[in-house]
Structure 1
Amino acid sequence: MHEYMSTAARVWGLTCPGFPEEVSRARRWTRDILAGSPLAEDAELIVSELSANAILHTASGRSAGSFHLALAVSSQVITLSITDDGDVETAPKARRPDEEATHGRGLGMVSTLAHRVVVRNSDDGHTVTAELFVEAHPGESTY
């Protein structure tokens, strides 16, 4: 069992300035927390995509912007949430870009990797939450 696991969910938080290099910091942070989990690579990819989206498409990428990452781990689910600084007219949503488009596939990819994705809007920004369900087999550790 992972050293941080218990019967209750554990929750971590990280706030990053809205600089592009902070995406790799959020990815490493996620990888370190989930070391040994079979879902670590998927979680890392999800965090990378959602962090980049926050920086590229919201006020998080402006000079004083930031984004917040929350990671919750239980024996049943890994929950990853990215909250941005908002200031866009529409909430994040998966799109179907044409074949030649160079952007617009990220949230669709997150929706494919995660078992569930929820987008919440508030006056302070948007929170995109992705859940990865841990599928334990009898006799195996979930972590």
Structure 2
Amino acid sequence: MSLALPVQAEPEAPMYWRRRFRGEIDQARVVRAFARHLPAGFAALDDVLLVLNELMVNAVRHTRSGEDGGHFIVEISQNARVVLVSVTDEGGSSIPAACPAHGAGGDDLWESGRGLLTVEALTACWSWTGDATGRTVHASFPAHR
């Protein structure tokens, strides 16, 4: 006769998801579908989806991830304090930088860099690591607002 002993579950166990995507703009829809059902009970899920969209579009438009056969990787982790999203690309000549709302010379029609302003506005913080051969952009959200 075997005796089953109860095992106390960790109340806020960390969760982690990772997936590789083709380096094509049409993957934005697939990335959002992947992430939509992840961080369980996370109130700012819409912000996470928007930030992931911005980061993956940047990876496809501004790095080798968008070239033929390219790819990028999306990672999402959640613990009791934070939800962290990361997008890893195949590198390129530019570096991720949020640009002012007005472009060079005060040109209001300048578009490049505005997506990272959105990332900056919606996250607790964002950063990037890597070099021209591959970079990862990280964005964090407090788990409870």
TM-score range relative to shorter protein: 0.7 to 0.9
Q: What is the aligned partner in structure 1 of residue 5 from structure 2? A: none
Question: Which structure 1 segments of 5+ residues have no match?
Answer: 137-143
Letter in 2 for 1:119: W
Deviation at 1:103, TM superposition (A): 3.4
Deviation at 1:123, TM superposition (A): 5.7
Q: What is the aligned partner in structure 1 of residue 143 from structure 2? A: 134
TM-score by length of 1: 0.84
Q: Does 1:117 align with 2:126?
A: yes
Q: How does 1:85-96 map to 2 (within 5 A)?
A: 85-88=90-93, 90-96=94-100
Alignment match of 1:47 (pick from 46, 52, 55):
52
Contact 1:49 1:107 in 2 (8 A): yes
Deviation at 1:6, TM superposition (A): 4.8
Per-residue CA shift, 1:43-96, capped at 9, x if unaligned? 0000000000000000000001100000001111000000000022x3211112
Aligned pair count reads 131
TM-score by length of 2: 0.83
Q: What is the aligned partner in structure 1 of residue 21 from structure 2? A: 16
Query: 1:41 and 1:68 mapped to 2: Cα distance?
Result: 20
Q: What is the aligned partner in structure 1 of residue 75 from structure 2? A: 70
Alignment match of 2:36 (pick from 31, 38, 51):
31
Structure having the higher Rg: 2
Percent identity, aligned pairs only, is: 28
Question: Which structure 2 segments of 5+ residues have no match?
Answer: 1-9
Q: 1:82 to 1:100 in 2, by over 3 A?
A: same
